[in-house]
């Protein structure tokens, strides 16, 4: 388990996993920006271009192997889902990790002060040191931004269908969420939560676990800084009339979700979730950083014992502004 930052040489090579399908960006400009910046800095690099979804995990593992052998940096160039997959391969390897954000929301990079523009992000990657970043786990599946089950996972699933039909933008994502909520028929879940040695049963439409201070500040909950303090933040949506759900979406957009009577929030370092009662699902659909997975019950949400060593600036302006 790495307990100190990786010892990087000034000319450490970059091993970049570039997802050609992330966000609205074509891979050619990213390649050009990498070639120019690395050429000017005298840095070796290799790009693994992901053209099919099945290539992502294999390329991530290969990038980590080459970085370990050459004292290099593993870099994810894509949206939050791509960054998640490459981080999963990098965590615990002892390698430094870098990001060239290419997604729609880019919450992970934004909360850590990494610019969205390729040239500026490359300057961070080439000049800043690795700093420890907290990682969330659910049944050993990494999440850097959030993990969820229930309604929120359904929103993400239907959002992807909207993106395939209408394109990728924040407006399309918001529209998909509104349509899903207005459709109604959302089930509630009976869950048993084990926290700090105690158990309690809850009914909820959705359980959301956040590991991103910027996202949590933007929706406006009291425990928004939990990820900066070694904890995760849970948000449970109480059962109620389906027509109250769009109101929660509006509150979140206005940064006032914490004022809603329909939610419960609490911070934690470890939380076990299982079905309440003797009969329940053995597997459940869980969204991690926007990607859907089938995971076995019970679910164990926890802070990873080791950090991710992210190349990033010391200050994140957008996060500081959200806290003000």
Query: What's the confidence (pLDDT) of residue 4?
Result: 87
Task: Give 22's pLDDT tier (boundaries 50, 70, 90).
Answer: low
Q: Are 268 and 196 in contact (CB under 8 A)?
A: yes
* Residues 137, 131: Cα–Cα separation, whole Å: 19
The per-residue DSSP string of 25-90 comes to: --HHHHHHHHHHHHHHHT--EEEEEE-SGGGHHHHHHHHHHHHHHHT-EEEEEESHHHHHHHHHHH
In DSSP terms, 265 is beta-bridged to 235
Query: What does the block give as tokens for 322?
Result: 């959200």
The per-residue DSSP string of 85-144 comes to: HHHHHHTTSS-EEEEEE-SSS-HHHHHTT--SSHHHHHHHHHHSPEEEE--EEETTEEES
In DSSP terms, 264 is beta-bridged to 236
Q: Count CA within 13 A, CB hemisphere, residue 244.
A: 11
**Closest Cα to residue 220, out of 191, 178, 248, 190?**
248
Q: CA torsion, points 156, 203, 182, 150, in degrees to nearest 10?
A: 10
Query: What does the block give as tokens for 167?
Result: 């394109």
pLDDT tens-digit map of 43-88: 999 999 999 888 999 999 999 999 999 999 999 999 988 999 999 9
Query: What's the confidence (pLDDT) of residue 241?
Result: 45
**Closest Cα to residue 82, out of 134, 22, 157?**
22
The structural domains of the chain, ordered by start, are 14-134+306-323 (3.40.50.10330), 141-303 (2.60.200.40)
- Report how far apart, in Å, the C-alpha atoms of 83 and of each of 87, 180, 196, 215, 307 are: 6, 26, 31, 16, 15
Task: Give 176's pLDDT tier (boundaries 50, 70, 90).
Answer: very low
Percent of the chain with pLDDT over 70: 80
Query: What's the confidence (pLDDT) of residue 58?
Result: 97
Query: What's the confidence (pLDDT) of residue 253?
Result: 54
Mean pLDDT confidence for 279-301? 88
Query: What's the confidence (pLDDT) of residue 165?
Result: 44
Higher pLDDT, 30 or 156: 30
């Amino acid at each position: 388990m790495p307990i100190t930052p990786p010892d990087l040489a000034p000319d450490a090579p970059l091993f970049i996993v570039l997802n050609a399908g992330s966000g609205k960006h074509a891979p050619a400009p990213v390649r050009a920006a990498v070639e120019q910046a690395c050429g000017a800095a005298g840095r070796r690099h290799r790009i693994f271009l992901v053209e099919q979804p099945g290539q992502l995990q294999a390329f991530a593992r290969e990038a980590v192997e080459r970085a370990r052998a050459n004292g290099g940096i593993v870099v994810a160039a894509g949206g939050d889902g791509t960054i998640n997959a490459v981080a999963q391969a990098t965590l615990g390897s002892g390698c430094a990790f870098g990001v060239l954000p290419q997604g729609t929301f880019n919450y992970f990079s934004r909360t850590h002060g990494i610019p969205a523009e390729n040239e500026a992000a490359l300057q961070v990657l080439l000049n800043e040191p690795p700093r420890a970043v907290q990682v969330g786990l659910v049944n050993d599946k990494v999440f850097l931004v959030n993990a969820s089950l229930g309604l929120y996972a359904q929103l993400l699933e239907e959002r992807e269908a909207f993106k395939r039909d209408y394109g990728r933008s924040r407006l399309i994502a918001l529209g998909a969420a509104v349509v899903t909520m207005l459709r109604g028929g959302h089930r509630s879940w009976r869950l048993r939560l084990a926290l700090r040695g105690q158990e309690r049963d809850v009914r909820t439409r959705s359980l959301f676990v956040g590991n991103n201070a910027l996202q949590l500040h933007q929706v406006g909950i009291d425990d928004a800084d939990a990820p900066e303090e070694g904890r995760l933040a849970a948000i449970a949506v109480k059962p109620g009339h389906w027509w109250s759900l769009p109101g929660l979406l509006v509150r979140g957009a206005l940064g006032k979700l914490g004022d809603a009577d329909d939610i419960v929030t609490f911070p934690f370092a470890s939380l076990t979730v299982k079905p309440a009662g003797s009969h329940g699902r053995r597997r459940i659909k869980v969204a991690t950083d926007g990607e859907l997975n089938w995971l076995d019950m019970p679910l164990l949400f926890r802070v990873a014992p080791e950090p991710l060593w992210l190349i990033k600036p010391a200050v994140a302006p957008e996060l500081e502004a959200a806290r003000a």
